[in-house]
Amino acid sequence: MKLPPLLLAAGLLFWGVVTGFPLIALALMLAMESPRWIRARWDFDPKDYERVADLCSVAFLLLMVWQWFGTRQGPEGILTVLGWLPMIFAPVLLLQRYGVSGGVPLSALFWSLRRGRSGGVVRTLPLDHGYFAVCLLSATCANLRAPWFFPVLAGLGLYALAPLRPRGRSMAAWLPAVVCAVAIAYGLQHGLLVAQRQVEAFALDFLRDRVFGRVDPYRAQTSIGDLGRVKLSDRIVVRVGGPGARPMRLRDAVYDAFAHDAWFARSNAFRDVATEGDRGWRIAPGSGPEIALSMALVRGRGVLPLPANPALLDHLNVSKVERNPLGTVRVQDGPAALTFTVAADAAGVGSELGPTPVDLQMPERLRPVLMETLARWNLADRPGADVARALPAAFARDYRYTTLLTDAAGRKRSIEAFLTDQREGHCEYFATSTVLLLRAAGVPARYVTGYAVREWSAFEGEYRVRARHAHAWALAWIDGGWREIDSTPAGWFDLEAESASVWQDTLDLLSWMHHRWNQWRDRDPGPSEGVGLGWLAIIVPLAGWLVWSVTRRSRRDVEERRSASRTPDRLDHAMAPLLARLATLGHARDPSTPLRAWLRGLPLDDVAMQAAIRRIADEHARLRFDPDAADDAQIDALAVDATALSGRLVPSGAAAASDATPVIATSRR
């Protein structure tokens, strides 16, 4: 297929501008298009192509592996490497552009073709169009959302396709087809955008409901009213370390409205958290000892479990941090394994939104039960602070923790049943009842979900937080600040621990190894700073070796060719005095007579002379037809012999006087 003028340059320019490598693109453009003006071509061996292709492939694979495992990007890193493809595989095309074959041997692209190579015809494939397509694909991986992107992409594509127009088809048929195709493509890509948004919205809604409901910052579906048993895994979801690490609670999300056995966040408008120079994201004034948290992020986004009164988030490798008025913090565009530190002001009162009328609302159907419960504990007319202090003790005295979602009779639980006759349940019942009882007592209260940090690992030197350590508690507005009220009986943690798997230790070890790997990968200074130099350290020597090997072989070939072409010239030069002398003696050689036969047939009157000239003829033939055996010394020796012999030849007197073919005599000098 014919390559339109400067197509590669256009593709590279587009790629360079989009991906932010304009200088590299310019250098590649120059290198790729120079063969249009430079006539010199090199006769590269198929093995040269294979070596270069192998080097590029290895570099590509290593970069893929590194981006996947060695950086914070994870699978996203593949897209980064795809964006570098024109750079990585440029050497292969450069070899083609500067080679004489006009294509890349298929053996460079397919390993299987290297086996049993017979040294016959080398099948080649021009890669220009493929490289141009790679430029376009790589440019799209940069994800530049510019309005000019599509028109330029379409323009380049059509420029590449223009020479393919069949000869018999007129421009009048081609142009409308092209315009039609571009219009359809524009509509299609717009439709894909809209469709993806709608599908994503639907899928996220579905996942929120079914999978990630617990950490939805807008709504918390409790298990109140469900049947069976609360089952949570032993998987370690958060690790807590650093100087400020201690037994505590980590908040996932805070909710303020309760209806239909679910908690909702009415005040849910998330706002960006501002960064504080290089110090990270400032959530609230204040400071405290740093707590290091390590956790996993799903699809790069999620809600952060934080201690009470977080002040400053640091070493947080995300693009965006948002917080809602209730104090829930969420992040976007983070790595799969997130490690950061948080400084919490233990003495602070919290920067969350103060109490609102929503914080006092409760379902009217529950009001009698709540009031009755308060009355039972003699808390009906007590001040709010007293109620808040008394509730945990009251629950611990009269209620029992269980993960069973039904009572002994198999009946479903409800808040009413929990408070009146069943008097057992898991943390959601205790937390919800506490919030509602506080509200019934006139204390603004909120519902909090998160984790209890209690399990210390001496091996890791950190606290482990497992999925089964998920917990719920209440926040109460007391003395002008939000205070945590945890009414779940203290034994819940040990009760949950009894359900631990027998494989827990093994799984913990694997989890720790994975965690350490993530820590190493995300160490500071980040690997992205060092990776460039590291790659240069590997690639530059390899590329240097390759260039040296190709150049050395090319030079050797040139030398061999020069030597092979030079040998006959030098031999002719060596024999020239002898032939000239013979010509002056009247023995010019007919060009159709082989030199050796002619020399051996010369009419010489001296037997020794005959032997000498025959020896020279044989030596000349040997050197002439076996150039590999001809070295400079032998050619020089032949020249000396021939010159010496020519000096000894004189015309025979008798023959010179007659018209007959002169017989050659030998001078006795």
Partner 1 sequence: MAQALHRAFGRVQRWSAWVERRFTAAGLGVLYLMIAGGVFGLDVTRTMAFQLFALAAALLLVAWCGAGRWRPGVVLERRLPGYGTVGEPMRYTILVRATDDKAWSEVVVRDELDGRPPTTAEWRMRRRDDAGANFFDRRVGYPRWVALIRRLRGGRIAPVRMPPMRSGHESTVEMAFTPERRGIVRFARVRLLRPDPLGLINAVATRAAPQNLLVLPQTYPVPAIELPGTRRHHPGGVQAAQAVGESQEFLQLRDYRPGDPLRRLHWPSTARAGRPVVRETGEEFFTRFALVLDTFPDADDPVVFEAAVSVTASLATRLALGDALLDLLFVEDRAITVTAGRGLADTAVLLHELAQVEPGAADFGVLAAAIDRHGARMSACLHILLAWDAPRRALVQDLRAAGVAQIVLVVSRAPIAAAADVPFHVIDPVRLADTLAAMPDRCR
Contact with partner 1 (CB under 8 A) among 17, 62, 74, 165: 165
Q: Show the binding pattern over residues 108-147: x = contacts partner 1 (CB under 8 A), - = does not.
A: ---xx--xx------------xx--x--xx-xxxxxxx--
Minimum distance, C-beta of residue 81 to partner 1, in the bound complex (Å)? 12
By beta-carbon proximity to partner 1, the closer residue of 38 and 184 is 184
What is the smallest separation between the CB atom of 160 and partner 1, expressed in angstroms? Answer: 9
**Min separation Cβ 111 and partner 1, Å:** 6
Cβ-based nearer residue to partner 1, 147 or 480:
147
What is the Cα–Cα distance from 378 to 382, expressed in whole angstroms? 8
Q: Which is nearer to partner 1, 119 or 168 (CB)?
A: 168
Is the Cβ of residue 118 or residue 592 nearer to partner 1 in the bound state?
118
Tell me the closest approach of the beta carbon of residue 128 to partner 1, in angstroms.
11
- Taking alpha carbons only, the member of 474, 404, 409 closest to residue 445 is 474
Name which of 158 and 353 has its Cβ closer to partner 1. 158
Tell me the two tokens of residue 250. Answer: 């980590």
CB 25 to partner 1: min, Å: 17
The mark string for 58-87 relative to partner 1 (x by CB under 8 A, - otherwise) is ------------------x--x--x-----
Shortest reach from residue 209's CB to partner 1, in Å: 22
CA 555 distance to own-chain centroid: 39
User: Of 197 and 573, which has the nearer Cβ to partner 1?
Assistant: 197
What percent of the chain is helix, strand and coil (3-state, nearest 5)? 50, 15, 30
Strands 424-425 and 400-401 turn out to be: parallel
Q: Are 139 and 15 in contact (CB under 8 A)?
A: yes
Nearest to 185 by CA among 155, 208, 206: 155
Q: Write down the least CB distance from residue 179 to partner 1, Å.
A: 9
- DSSP H or E run through 97: helix 90-98
User: Prior bond to 46 cis, omega within 30?
Assistant: no
Distance CA 612, CA 618 (A): 10
Which residue is associated with the tokens 């950490």?
215
Other CB atoms within a 10 A radius of the CB of residue 633 amount to: 8
Least separation in angstroms between residue 164's CB and partner 1 is: 4
Instruction: Please check whether residue 463 is in contact with residue 241, taking contact to mean a CB–CB distance below 8 angstroms.
Output: yes
Kindly state whether residue 46 participates in binding partner 1, applying the rule CB under 8 A: no
What is the C-alpha separation between 346 and 310, in angstroms, rounded? 9
CB of 184 to partner 1, least distance (A): 4
Q: Which is nearer to partner 1, 146 or 385 (CB)?
A: 146
One DSSP character per residue, 528-544 reads: HHHHHHHHHHHHHHHHH
CB of 245 to partner 1, least distance (A): 36
- One-letter amino acid for residue 124 of the chain: T
What is the H or E stretch that residue 338 is in? strand 337-344
Contact between 592 and partner 1 per CB under 8 A: no
| # chain residues binding partner 1, by CB under 8 A | 49
**Toward partner 1, which CB reaches closer, 143 or 501?**
143
Of the listed pieces 61-69, 107-115, 378-386, 425-433, which binds partner 1 according to CB under 8 A?
107-115
Residue 123, burial from CB neighbour count under 10 angstroms (0-12, 13-18, 19+): exposed
> From the list 9, 178, 358, 390, which residue makes contact with partner 1 (rule: CB under 8 A)?
178
Segment lying near partner 1 (by CB under 8 A), choices 29-37, 181-189, 475-483, 603-611: 181-189
SS3 call for 413 = coil
Cβ nearer to partner 1, comparing 144 with 580: 144
In whole angstroms, how close is the CB of 176 to partner 1 at the nearest point? 9
Written in H, E and C, the secondary structure of 347-410 is CCCCCCCCCCHHHHCCCHHHHHHHHHHHHHCCCCCCCHHHHHHHHHHHHHHHCEECCECECCCC
What is the token pair recorded at 162? 């223009």
Lay out the sheet containing 257-259: strands in order across. Answer: 219-221, 262-264, 257-259
Parallel, antiparallel, or unpaired: how do β-strands 104-105 and 424-425 relate?
unpaired
Whole-number Å distance between alpha carbons of 620 and 614:
10
Q: 310, 252 in Cβ contact below 8 A?
A: no
- Contact between 244 and 297 (Cβ < 8 Å): no
Residue among 4 and 481 whose Cβ is closer to partner 1: 4
d(CA 105, CA 50): 8
Q: Which of 6, 27, 154, 576 binds partner 1 (CB under 8 A)?
A: 154
Between 115 and 271, name the residue whose CB sits nearer to partner 1.
115
**Position among 6, 109, 122, 182 found at the interface with partner 1 (CB under 8 A):** 182
Pairwise CA distance, residues 215 & 254, whole Å? 10
One residue of 119, 120, 147, 168 binding partner 1 per CB under 8 A = 168
Considering only the stretches 159-167, 420-428, 536-544, 631-639, report the one whose residues sit in contact with partner 1 under the rule CB under 8 A.
159-167
What is d(CA 103, CA 123) in angstroms, rounded to the nearest whole number? 9
CB of 115 to partner 1, least distance (A): 5
The tokens for 630 are 């001809």
- Those residues whose C-beta lies under 8 Å from the C-beta of residue 434, and which sit 6 or more positions away, are 391, 392, 395, 445, 473, 474, 485, 487
* Residue from 181, 360, 467, 542 binding partner 1 (CB under 8 A): 181
Footprint on residues 185-224 left by partner 1 (CB under 8 A):
185-186, 188-189, 192-193, 196, 200
Amino acid identity of 520?
Answer: W
Among the listed residues 184, 385, 509, 588, the single contact to partner 1 using CB under 8 A: 184
Q: CA dist 170 to 4, 163, 354, Å?
A: 18, 12, 75
Query: H helices then E strands: how many in the chain?
Result: 21, 24
Of 71 and 267, nearer to partner 1 (C-beta) is 71
Dihedral sign for Cα atoms in the order 306, 281, 237, 227: positive
- Judged by phi (left if over 0) then psi (alpha if -120 to 50, else beta), residue 331 lies in beta
In whole angstroms, how close is the CB of 329 to partner 1 at the nearest point?
23
Between residues 13 and 438, which has the closer beta carbon with respect to partner 1? 13
Identify which of residues 157 and 489 has a Cβ nearer to partner 1 in the complex: 157
Q: Is 169 in the site for partner 1 (CB under 8 A)?
A: yes
Closer by beta carbon to partner 1, 165 or else 553: 165
Question: Minimum distance from CB of 139 to partner 1 (Å)?
Answer: 8
| Stretch of residues binding partner 1 (CB under 8 A), selected from 163-171, 370-378, 447-455, 610-618 | 163-171
Q: Least distance (Å) from partner 1 to the CB of residue 190?
A: 8
Residue whose CB is less far from partner 1, 175 or 657: 175
Binding site for partner 1 (CB under 8 A): 1, 76, 79, 82, 111-112, 115-116, 129-130, 133, 136-137, 139-145, 149-150, 153-154, 157, 161, 164-169, 173-174, 177-178, 180-186, 188-189, 192-193, 196, 200
